[in-house]
Chains A and B, each alone.
Chain A
Amino acid sequence: MSPSQDKKRWSLPPLGTAAWLGAGLLLVFVVIGLVVPLLLSGSPSAQDLDHLLEGPSRRHWLGTDENGCDLLVQMCFGARLLLGLCSSVVGLCLSLGLLIGVSAGYLGGWLDEVVMRVIDVLLAFPGILLNIAIVALVPKAGVGVLIFALAVNGWVGYARVARAQVLRVREQEYILAARSVGCSPWRVMLRHILPNIWSPIIVQATFGFAGVVLVEASLSFLGLGPPVPYTWGALLSQGTNFFWRTRHLILVPGLSIALLVLACNLLGDGLRDYVDPKRKRSR
């Protein structure tokens, strides 16, 4: 499929209101994360010592935290950090998972066997346990370590979906045709298989993004996140410590995390129904 053909047929896919709502919400967060920090004059660590732990006011639209830092500025910088981190993790996991899953599924044999065993072992660590263990063992873990820790078992989901999809299309005529005219395995995988297995993987990535946001927020909440005080999870943790004195410090970061995850889930649901209409009918 050439790009020009693609462009001619391009129109908004019929995703449904909820999914568009999610996409719009996601866009708002991206704008908050990418554009707003450039416009703001303040720094997330600038302290206003006369206004500690105060609710929203004209001076500080979302109030201040225990150190007198403006919550709005912190949230925006936190959004930039969170989005950057989560996109890197999802991008890394997506590429790794595709590479591993597609080659395991297509080449089969011992490679497939080894990959499946490794996946089994990684899946044996439930939830955020492995992520916590890695971040905790590394002294002064930075953003790089965090991305590594999240990617270590993050690729597994993509690899499984990719492998299952490859097994589905592997024996179809167009793949056999490509092989019989002498395409190399890599060419078959890149030019013939990959374009045909994209859609469920995009859906997976949308849900995966929500998952990474939750895990990152949990790690920051536990004090194991990026070494800055303005991650959403860290702000929420601060809010939890002061929840009997002020509410805005739980409400703002918590609601933001929830909305971001909700946006991804809405978009993911819509995309899934669009990609796999059979599923929608049975629902």
Chain B
Amino acid sequence: MASDKLGPWAKLRRLFATGWSWTTRLAEALLSTSWRLRRYLVRRLLSSLVSVAGVVALTFVLLHLIPGDPVDNLLGEDARPQDKIELRRCMDLDQTLPIQFGRFVKSIFDGTLGYSCPDRKLTVAQRIKKALPPTATLAVSAMLVALGLALPLGIVAALKVRSRWDAALTAVALLGISMPAMWLGPMLLYLFYVLVPWFPGPGEDTGSLRGLVLPSVMLGTHLMAMLARMTRSSLLDTLSEDYVRTARAKGLPPWKVVLKHAMRNALLPVITVAGMQFGALLAGAVVTEKVFARPGLGTLLLEAIAQRDYRVVQGLTLVIAVMYVLINLIVDVLYAAVDPRIRV
């Protein structure tokens, strides 16, 4: 490969150039398209904004729905009154509700998400930023596991419909959907750590690639089963389309018909669902991180819950929900750019 001889800078420049060309191509596609697409995009953007506003309001309300006094919950009934006042001030509980809401919104816009009380050492945003990369890595690799297994399985099942392969896939998908992740994880650990020590155990080597395998499988299995089912039914639908018959009639080799003509359209709903489920992976990482004792957002959430650190729980809920809304927005925009039927 020629790219092996390139220096790191050249590689980076090339990567950047590729990324840039894709971005401009996408922007071009979006800008040059009809006013209908633009109207769709604006509407989609506005509805996302409404969702984000609702999420902000709901996460604020959440903290104020707690029965009893959060300060008493944190410090206990018989804490020193001085500490109570201090904590109350730190949590803004001495202010009226509108001011509290205003400060909460301000803490979102200045990017701090507030401080953990009573010690004001780190902002919530800093703690989340530190915990985000491991969870993002885990979620992405779980997504890769899910897609990497689901697509071939779904394709084989759809091509050999009503065969033994198909029946096997249906069974595997059903098992995958019914398998509770918190059981799959410990079983994987037992099989591949205790019985055959191929992979590191909980808490060991969490940064390495080998340490990522079992957690990704645990997190990705449910999604894999869902996507395999979808790939199969979606591909079955497209295989009966006229243009696939035409492609076959032209004498194209079968693999070309399937991969180039049928799969292109069959993939769209699968990719959409995969994108929509990415947020579920972030939430599901809580259980995975507990089983494998990995650092990340889930571990941070459980820590915050144990310490009754309300601000961190609030901030994490907000961040994950907003990320989820953004991912869905991006998926929808891409979808609209790729599929001309949406623009109508």
Q: Which positions in A face B, CB cutoff 8 Å?
A: 117-118, 120-122, 124-130, 132-134, 136-139, 210, 214, 217-218, 221-222, 224, 233, 236-237, 239-240, 243-244, 247, 250, 253-255, 257-258, 261-262, 265-266, 269, 282-283
Inter-subunit contact B55/A124 (CB<8 Å)? yes
Which B152-199 residues have a C-beta within 8 angstroms of A?
174-175, 177-183, 185-187, 189-190, 194
A222 CA to B237 CA, complexed, in Å: 41
The residue in chain A whose Cβ has the minimal distance to the Cβ of B222 is A214
Closest chain-A Cβ to B220's Cβ sits at a distance in Å of: 14
Grouping DSSP codes into helix (H, G, I), strand (E, B) and loop, the B interface class, with mixed when no group exceeds half, is helix
Q: Which positions in B face A, CB cutoff 8 Å?
A: 47, 50-52, 54-55, 58-59, 62-63, 65-68, 73, 174-175, 177-183, 185-187, 189-190, 194, 233, 236-237, 279-280, 282-284, 286-287, 290-291, 301-302, 304-305, 308, 310, 313-314, 317, 320-322, 324-325
What residues of chain B lie closer than 8 Å to A133, measured between beta carbons? 59, 62, 313-314, 317
What residues of chain B lie closer than 8 Å to A253, measured between beta carbons? 183
Inter-subunit contact A236/B313 (CB<8 Å)? no
What residues of chain B lie closer than 8 Å to A222, measured between beta carbons? 286-287, 290, 302
Task: Given A133-B62, A221-B287, A283-B236, decide whether A250 and B178 contact each other with a Cβ distance below 8 A.
Answer: no
Closest chain-B Cβ to A269's Cβ sits at a distance in Å of: 8
A217's contact among B182, B279, B325, by CB below 8 Å, is which? Answer: B182
Closest chain-A Cβ to B169's Cβ sits at a distance in Å of: 12
Listed by A's residue number, 12 A-B pairs whose Cβ atoms lie within 8 Å are: A124-B324, A128-B284, A137-B63, A137-B313, A139-B66, A139-B73, A210-B178, A218-B181, A218-B182, A239-B186, A243-B190, A265-B174
Inter-subunit contact A139/B190 (CB<8 Å)? no
Closest chain-A Cβ to B327's Cβ sits at a distance in Å of: 9
What residues of chain A lie closer than 8 Å to B194, measured between beta carbons? 243-244
A157 CA to B144 CA, complexed, in Å: 27
A230 CA to B325 CA, complexed, in Å: 37
Inter-subunit contact A139/B186 (CB<8 Å)? no
Inter-subunit contact B182/A221 (CB<8 Å)? yes
A266 CA to B178 CA, complexed, in Å: 10
Inter-subunit contact A262/B183 (CB<8 Å)? no
A250's contact among B190, B279, B287, by CB below 8 Å, is which? Answer: B190
Closest chain-A Cβ to B271's Cβ sits at a distance in Å of: 17
What residues of chain A lie closer than 8 Å to B291, measured between beta carbons? 240
B180's contact among A117, A121, A254, A265, by CB below 8 Å, is which? Answer: A254
Closest chain-B Cβ to A170's Cβ sits at a distance in Å of: 24
The residue in chain B whose Cβ has the minimal distance to the Cβ of A262 is B178
Inter-subunit contact A127/B284 (CB<8 Å)? yes
